[in-house]
A and B are shown apart, each in its own frame.
Chain A
Amino acid sequence: MRDRGRILIGLLIFLILMTFPVWYNALNGVSVMQEPELATKNVPGKDKCVNTAEYMRQNHMNLLNQWRDTVVRQDVRVYTTVDGRKFNMSLTNTCLDCHPNRENFCNRCHNYLAVNPYCWDCHVDPQDPKVLAAKEPR
């Protein structure tokens, strides 16, 4: 039992690392998801999404994939909702028209759930300073 000291130190380090989530949360408080901000909830014409909130919460990524394929591969750009309203299938110009603050809408959930969709690598945030700098729309 000459290595008792080393073994105990090793065990101690192991225990500290294993219980990291427990004491980290105890010290910093449990992380709480910030509710996404619905900025245009009360703006007429922008108060109703293309589908119910429950559906969008669970399936917005599938809907967006479907929109992507329909627009790019089939060249169909108008989406008709169940209740007959028509929308241009565009992330930047339709989704972000009603949810203008990406930081407070998309990113709040995505950050909390640690998902990192790459939509924004190409698709433009209308609030981007470089977009706002493009004064005259083409």
Chain B
Amino acid sequence: MDRRDFIKYCGIATVGLAVGKAGRILAADKLLEESPLTASRWAMVFDLRKCLHKDGCTKCIDACHTVHNVPKIDIPGDEVKWIWKEPFDHAFEEQQNEHLPEELLHAPSLVLCNHCDNPPCVRVCPTQATWKRASDGIVMMDWHRCIGCRYCIVGCPYGSRSFNWHDPRKYLTTIQPDFPTRTKGVVEKCTFCSERLDRGLLPACVVDCPEKALTFGDLQDVHSEVRELLASNFTIRRKPSLGTQPQVYYIV
């Protein structure tokens, strides 16, 4: 090897090292740049009027159930649901005045876990498999701890929880690798997409709604979109007399 070759190879080696190093730095940054969305109190506002514009649309439900590997089981009583549509008169039993507009009475209201401030499901769970996160109020599920006693299903006044009577994988045609499936014998429900918030993404239902009928944000932040909606619209919540303080608000 002559002097020129030696210098040439030195140059190539330096470039190689630099590229390798840069690659590793970029890989680490990719992990860190996923800045999470945080709040003091997550809440959701659902605009029923906007949802009515798209009759028969199920985009939010499809998005949620795809992202979270929720199986579609058509056996009555065995269904697993995180978010679904319930006729207005079912969803708001207590608040049903007589002579309501016909279109509102049977309006499909989107229902999901209310992430209550005072969640009865958490009080009855014997293993703390479900708990209210102190940081942002999300009622979480730990499927590792759930023993399938179903007290929480009895405790929840909104029917937001489903039990896996069957192996959910049998009912899934495709599985998203980013989220685990559940197993036979555990209870599951909406988690306000806590895993997506960690990656800086809004809940799947909010993102996929073509009418932007769903708004998600920090209730403690005066300038947040949810607070603005609550300040400028009359909203109702499901079964307010129970004192659970649901954090899903409905504009009717």
What are 19 A-B interface contacts by the 8 Å CB criterion?
A44-B20, A45-B23, A45-B24, A75-B198, A77-B198, A87-B31, A88-B31, A92-B177, A122-B181, A122-B182, A124-B176, A126-B177, A130-B169, A131-B175, A131-B176, A133-B173, A133-B175, A134-B176, A137-B178
Residues of A close to B174: CB separation below 8 A: 130-131, 133-134
* Cα distance, A118 to B181, chains bound together (Å): 13
* Cα distance, A126 to B177, chains bound together (Å): 6
* Cα distance, A137 to B32, chains bound together (Å): 20
| Interface membership of A41, Cβ < 8 A | no
Residues of B close to A134: CB separation below 8 A: 174-177
| Interface membership of B27, Cβ < 8 A | yes
Residues of A close to B24: CB separation below 8 A: 45
Contact of A72 with B178 in the complex, beta carbons under 8 Å: no
Residues of A close to B28: CB separation below 8 A: 85-86
Q: Which of B125-162 contact A (CB under 8 A)?
A: 133, 135, 140, 142-144
| Interface membership of A68, Cβ < 8 A | yes
* Cα distance, A84 to B60, chains bound together (Å): 40
Q: How far is the CB of A129 from chain B (nearest CB, A)?
A: 9
Q: How far is the CB of B130 from chain A (nearest CB, A)?
A: 11
Residues of B close to A130: CB separation below 8 A: 169, 172-175
| Interface membership of B183, Cβ < 8 A | yes
Q: Please name the residue on chain A nearest to B138 by beta carbon.
A: A75
Contact of B183 with A122 in the complex, beta carbons under 8 Å: yes
Footprint of A on B, CB under 8 Å? Answer: 20, 23-24, 27-28, 31-32, 63, 66-67, 69, 133, 135, 140, 142-144, 169, 172-183, 194, 198, 204
Residues of A close to B204: CB separation below 8 A: 138
A124-B181 in contact given A86-B32, A133-B173, A138-B204 (Cβ < 8 Å): yes
- Write the A74-96 contact mask toward B (1 if CB under 8 angstroms, else 0): 01011000000111100011000
- Write the A44-61 contact mask toward B (1 if CB under 8 angstroms, else 0): 110000000000000000
| Interface membership of A121, Cβ < 8 A | yes
Interface of B is mostly: loop
Total cross-chain contacts (CB, 8 A): 69
| Interface membership of A123, Cβ < 8 A | yes
Footprint of B on A, CB under 8 Å? Answer: 44-45, 68, 72-73, 75, 77-78, 85-88, 92-93, 118, 121-124, 126, 128, 130-131, 133-134, 137-138
Contact of A118 with B183 in the complex, beta carbons under 8 Å: yes
Q: How far is the CB of B18 from chain A (nearest CB, A)?
A: 15
Kindly name the residue among B23, B135, B181, B204 whose own CB sees the greatest number of chain A CB atoms within 10 A. Answer: B181
Kindly name the residue among A68, A72, A87, A123 whose own CB sees the greatest number of chain B CB atoms within 10 A. Answer: A72
Contact of B31 with A124 in the complex, beta carbons under 8 Å: no
Residues of A close to B144: CB separation below 8 A: 68, 72
Contact of B173 with A93 in the complex, beta carbons under 8 Å: no
A73-B178 in contact given A130-B169, A133-B173, A138-B204 (Cβ < 8 Å): no
Q: 6 other contacts beyond A86-B31, A124-B69, A137-B177, with CB at 8 A cut-off?
A: A45-B23, A92-B180, A121-B183, A122-B183, A133-B175, A138-B67
Per CB-CB distance, the 7 closest pairs between chain A and chain B, nearest first, are A134-B174, A121-B183, A122-B180, A130-B175, A133-B174, A131-B175, A138-B67
Residues of A close to B194: CB separation below 8 A: 75
